[in-house]
Amino acid sequence: MNPPDTPTFDAPWQAQAFALAVALSDAGHFTWTEWSEALGARLNGPNAARDGSDYYDHWLENLVALLNAKGLALPEAIDTTAQAWQRAATATPHGKPIALSNDPKAQGAGSDNYHN
């Protein structure tokens, strides 16, 4: 139960997901109590790893679910935009910054195509 400390975040996306939840709560889109109760239900559910290694996976899915419940972002829009980011990454030459506009399916249009 007392293994050596691991880094605060195992990957940059975990830090970004952490910051998104805190920023949304700071901006008043949900209270931290709402957040904690929903996160706790996931962490105490049957799909949680015993060692806590999937903590930020649950964190991210908690965020997606809460945004859906609040009508702030739809899961379908998130999936569609995530796929666009993956296509954009694949189409971006190595060494160049990945931009959503590099998605071949975007065809020069703005990223508004991906949601709502």
Partner 1 sequence: MHDHDHDHGDNSLDPMTARVKALETILTEKGLVDPAALDAIIESVQTKIGPRNGAKVVARAWSDPDFAARLAEDATSAVAELGYSGRQGEHLQAVFNTQDTHNLVVCTLCSCYPWTVLGLPPVWYKSPPYRARAVRDPRGVLAEFGVTLPESTQIRVWDSTAELRYLVVPERPEGTEGLDEAALAELVTRDAMIGCGLAKVPA
The nearer residue to partner 1, 22 or 69, going by C-beta atoms, is 22
**Interface with partner 1, residue 109, by CB under 8 A:** no
**Interface with partner 1, residue 78, by CB under 8 A:** yes
Name which of residues 46 to 65 contact partner 1 (CB under 8 A).
48, 50-53, 55, 57, 60, 63-64
DSSP string of 21-69, one letter each residue: HHHHHHTTSS-HHHHHHHHHHHHTSTTS-TTSTTHHHHHHHHHHHHHHH
Q: How far apart are CA 105 and CA 21, in angstroms?
A: 30
For residue 12, the surrounding DSSP H or E stretch is: helix 12-26
Q: At its nearest, how many Å lie between partner 1 and the CB of residue 62?
A: 9
Q: How far apart are CA 26 and CA 18, in angstroms?
A: 12
Residues that bind partner 1 (CB under 8 A): 1-3, 5-6, 8, 11-13, 15-20, 22-27, 29, 31-33, 35-37, 39-40, 43-44, 48, 50-53, 55, 57, 60, 63-64, 67, 72-73, 77-86, 89-94, 98, 100, 111-112, 114-115
